[in-house]
Amino acid sequence: MSLLKSREVVLGGVIVLLLAAIASRFPGFVAPANLGRVFTDTSPLILLALGQMAVILTKCIDLSVAANLALCGMVAALMDGMGVPMPVILGTVVVMGAGLGAINGALVWGLGIPSIVVTLGTMTIYRGTIFLLTEGAWINAHQMSDAFKAVPRQVILGLPVMAWIAVAAIAGVAVLMTRTALGRAFYAVGGNPHAAVYTGISVGRTQFAAFVLAGALAGLTGYLWVARYAVAYVDIAGGFELDVVAACVIGGIAIAGGAGTVAGAVMGALFLGIIKNALPVVGISPFWQMAISGAAILAAIAFNARRRDPGRIILKRAEVRA
Amino acid sequence: MSISRTLLTTATALALMAGAAQAETVRIALVAKALGIGFFEAANKGAEEAAAELGDVEIIYTGPTDTTAEGQIEVINSLIAQRVDAIAVSANDTDALVPTLRRAMDRGITVISWDSGVAPEGRAMHLNPSSAPLIGNTIIKLAADHLPDGGQVAVLSATTTSTNQNIWIEEMTKVMGDYPGIEVVATVYGDDLADKSYREAQGLMQSHPDLKAIIAPTSVGIVAAAQAVTDAGKVGEVNVTGLGLPSEMAGHVKSGASESFAIWNPIDLGYSATMIAHALATEGATAEPGATIPIGRMGEVTLDENGEAAMADPFTYDAGNIDEFSSVF
């Protein structure tokens, strides 16, 4: 019974139903090779959703992840243009992404500004910085080295490196969330900040750590994105932060903080990724596509609201009984 | 009687002076949105070409250092002071330049706009690089030219509400009868986002295995589609074409993902603007609705009721000329 109630199981069931519905119109979609392609395509969303999950768990939100991604991606492309070797580029984007996340975290922690305001501001600043770096110019496929474009495409054991990076990140964040003090602190801070303080957890520092994690993942994704689409310009991944938040919400990460699982975030991202990849092939009018995506998000959220985890109202229930 | 005589004498004197001026060098100012932009440098090249052809023309290529209307106003004021014969401007603002340009026209300077227009009261005419019907025809022709036996093609547009793209696709649909054997199987929308355009292009290739060409009349879409075709290993099977910039498409033309694509040619545009400015300033051509003005090797343009004219079909770029232009714009 508790298994049926688990939101992850329900979401998994919905994804299977969705795949079955798509397969009835376009059987080729569920071929293993195509599912692998869909997973690869969804990898950036999964990576960002994992970082966003940590941030949302601590009662914050990071709207600057897509801008962070775009800025780090542009820097990676610029470095490649200067002939910097690949390992250095990879190291730089992760450190730089973490640094940009740390700016968000420091403002939230140090100045106590609400995260939605901080990240709304840094989102614009990061995008503006790309414009300053490039004056709006594009970096195109022929200006990137072959090695730069090849890394995410390299196939190992049937899946491109990009997908393996997502798999590694899922495993890494799952261990972090369930097996480390920091991971548990994310839940504690969001679930009950006062109780967290009494147990010796610094709320601000935990939120800071969540922003740094989200930033580092966004920085890494920035390189993957630019290399995959072989183009870098100011507006890449425009509006992607909303997809990331939607993936988390669909995955059952409580927007009020403190509840949610890695499996949920990943399945939320996959749900959106499957819809995005299926709509072009099932022959639905493009005019309907946006409405369908939106309806799916609303349906998931309505479901989420109905099945609210009652774990934190033990005392109220006890009061009612008494 | 004596008054009309005086007037006649004055008119004759003016005509003589004008004739004398004509024998001298005609000075045409080509005003760019900003200096240092490849597109306008190329337009200047075309203007110089026109000047060499006309013989008695000096081109003054100028512009502000950044793309502001204020900067252009300063530049135009100095051109008025220099008493140039004609000003051809690509405007940074439709309305802001009008008072200054009116002043220029009051002093007898011929003013036209090209590329980016000025409001009708601030210029004699405006030269558009192309027109919606010409673009609509070009994008399907680009696909058809590489499909002698016909085949399926699909359109990858920007957003469902992009006015330009919708008009071009509409114009394309009107001329489909001229391309028998070419079948447009789908129109999809990449929203001018690289990732969505890429995904839509993948979807097109999956749902239409016999697809022969993707037409993307948007610079984000055409690049994303070319990358999707490359990644799908369908270079040579699916030709990506449409409207794009040479600097952005160079790699994809060389890889073969795109046989050819189109966009305006800045050299032709500078050439035509100079020809028109010269014709209006010296040869008594008038800029009025319905008027036809010859533009040398580019043929002629006809003005519409708004005093606007379309130069030509968009220029086709392929492996033969991409290197020359990819460094320009």
Instruction: Please list the pLDDT of chain B residue by residue as tens digits (329 residues).
Output: 455 555 555 554 444 444 444 457 899 999 998 887 778 888 999 999 999 998 889 999 999 887 888 999 999 999 999 999 999 999 888 888 999 999 999 999 999 999 888 888 989 899 988 888 889 999 999 999 888 888 899 999 988 877 788 889 999 999 988 888 889 998 999 888 888 899 999 999 988 999 999 999 988 899 999 999 998 888 989 999 999 888 888 889 989 999 999 988 889 999 999 999 998 888 777 878 888 888 888 888 888 888 888 888 888 888 888 888 887 77
Handedness of CA B113, B114, B115, B120 (dihedral sign): positive
* Closest residue, chain B, to A144 (C-alpha): B251
Per-window interface: B 252-281 vs A, CB < 8 A: 252, 254-255
Radius of gyration of chain A measured on its C-alpha atoms: 20
Chain B residue with the nearest C-alpha to that of A227: B227
Runs of H (alpha helix) within chain A: 2-5, 7-25, 32-57, 65-81, 86-111, 115-134, 146-150, 161-179, 181-191, 193-198, 203-229, 240-250, 262-278, 286-306, 314-321
Asked if residue A11 lies in contact with residue A267, where contact means CB atoms within 8 angstroms, the answer is yes
- In the three-class reduction of DSSP (H, G, I as helix; E, B as strand; rest coil), residue A114 is classed as coil
CB pairs under 8 A between A and B: 71
Alpha-helix runs per DSSP H in B175-311: 194-207, 219-231, 246-255, 266-282
C-alpha to C-alpha distance for B230 and B252, rounded to whole angstroms: 8
- Tell me if chain B has a CB within 8 Å of the CB of A231: yes
What pLDDT is attached to residue B51? 92
Q: Return the residue in B67, B207, B211 with the most chain A beta carbons within 10 A, the one to mutate for interface testing.
A: B207
Is the pLDDT higher at A2 or at A195? A195
Query: Which chain B positions have a beta carbon within 8 Å of A41's beta carbon?
Result: 199
Q: What's the pLDDT band for A58 if we cut at 50, 70, 90?
A: very high
**Least CB–CB distance from A230: residue in B207, B227, B254:** B227
| Both structure tokens of A155 | 């196939």
Mutate to test the interface with A, among B185, B193, B195, B240 (most CBs of A within 10 A): B195
Whole-angstrom distance, CA of residue A99 vs CA of residue A208: 11
Backbone angles phi, psi at B66, to 5 degrees: -135, 165
Q: B203 vs A140: CB contact, 8 Å cut-off?
A: no
Question: What is the C-alpha to C-alpha distance for residues B296 and A158, in angstroms, rounded to an integer?
Answer: 60
Return mean pLDDT, chain A.
Answer: 88
User: Can you tell me the distance from the alpha carbon of B206 to that of B202, in angstroms, rounded to the nearest whole number?
Assistant: 6
Residue B194 contacts A, CB cutoff 8 Å: yes
Residue A69 carries which side chain, given as an amino acid letter? L
CB-based contact, A186 to chain B, within 8 Å: no
Whole-Å CA distances, A72 to A96, A229, B228: 7, 15, 23
Mutation site, B191, B248, B329, interface A, largest A CB count within 10 A: B248
Coil/strand/helix, residue A187: helix
B198 inside 8 A of chain A by CB: yes
Token output for B228: 């999707």
Given this model, what pLDDT does residue B15 score?
A: 47
Give the residue on B whose Cα is nearest the Cα of A40. B199
Cβ of A26 and B204 within 8 Å? no
Residue B323: closest CA among B246, B220, B243: B246
- CA dist., res. B114 & res. B88, Å (int): 7
CATH numbers and ranges of domains, chain B: 2-128+266-312 (3.40.50.2300), 132-263 (3.40.50.2300)
* Residues B166, A230, B164: CA angle, nearest 5 degrees: 10
Spatial distance between the Cα atoms of B77 and B81, rounded to a whole number of angstroms: 6
What is the Cα–Cα distance from A176 to B47, expressed in whole angstroms? 65
Reply yes or no on whether the pLDDT at A174 is more than 80: yes
The pLDDT tens digits of the residues spanning A236-295 come to 898 899 899 989 988 888 888 888 999 999 999 999 899 888 888 887 776 777 787 788
What does the pLDDT read at residue B18?
Answer: 46
Which pair of structure tokens corresponds to residue A191? 């679930």
Q: Which of residues 150-169 of B touch A (CB under 8 A)?
A: 160
Query: What is the reported pLDDT for B10?
Result: 52
Per-residue pLDDT, B22 = 47
Torsions phi, psi for A106 (to 5 deg): -65, -40
pLDDT value at A57 more than 60: yes
Find where tokens 């005509």 sit: B15
Per residue in A145-171, pLDDT (tens digit) is 999 999 888 899 889 999 999 999 999
pLDDT at A92: 96
Cβ distance of B248 and A277 shorter than 8 Å: no
pLDDT of A109: 94
Given B199, B251, B254, which is nearest A280 (Cβ)? B199
CA atoms within 13 A on the CB side of B106: 9
A230 Cβ under 8 Å from any chain B Cβ: yes
Nearest CA-CA distance, residue A305 and chain B, Å: 30
Determine, for residues A277 and B189 on separate chains, whether the beta-carbon distance falls below 8 Å.
no
**B247 touching A (Cβ < 8 Å):** yes
Instruction: Report d(CA A171, CA A186) in Å as an integer.
Output: 17
Nearest CB to A231 within list B194, B199, B207: B194
Q: Residue B20: what pLDDT?
A: 44
**Residue contact A280–B202, C-beta within 8 A:** yes
Phi, psi for residue A159 in degrees, rounded to 5: -125, 145
**Helix orientation angle between A240-250 and A65-81, rounded to the nearest 10 degrees:** 130
Tokens of A131: 């414009």
CB contact under 8 A, A229 and B194: yes
* Integer angstrom CA distances of residue B254 from A153, B159, B315, B322, B326: 20, 28, 18, 9, 12
pLDDT of residue B261: 92
Contacts of B328 (CB under 8 A, 6+ apart): B38, B39, B41, B42, B246, B247, B266
Of A37, A138, A238, which is closest to B248 when you measure between CB atoms? A138
Is A280 an interface residue toward B (CB < 8 Å)?
Answer: yes
The pTM of the full predicted model, rounded to 2 decimals, is: 0.78
pLDDT value at A321 more than 70: no
Domains of chain A are 2-308 (1.10.3470)
At CA B252, angle to CA B250 and CA B253, rounded to 5? 65
Give Cα separations from A103 to A86, A91, A94, A122, B15 (angstroms). Answer: 26, 19, 14, 8, 72
Please list every residue in chain B whose beta carbon sits closer than 8 Å to the beta carbon of residue A242. none
Contact flag A280-B188 (C-beta cutoff 8 Å)? yes
Query: Inter-chain contact B160–A287, Cβ cutoff 8 Å?
Result: yes
CA distances from B62 to B75, B82, B105, B118, B173 (A): 7, 13, 19, 17, 41
Enumerate the residues of chain A whose CB falls inside 8 A of the CB of residue B200.
280
Dihedral sign (CA A137, A141, A145, A150)? positive
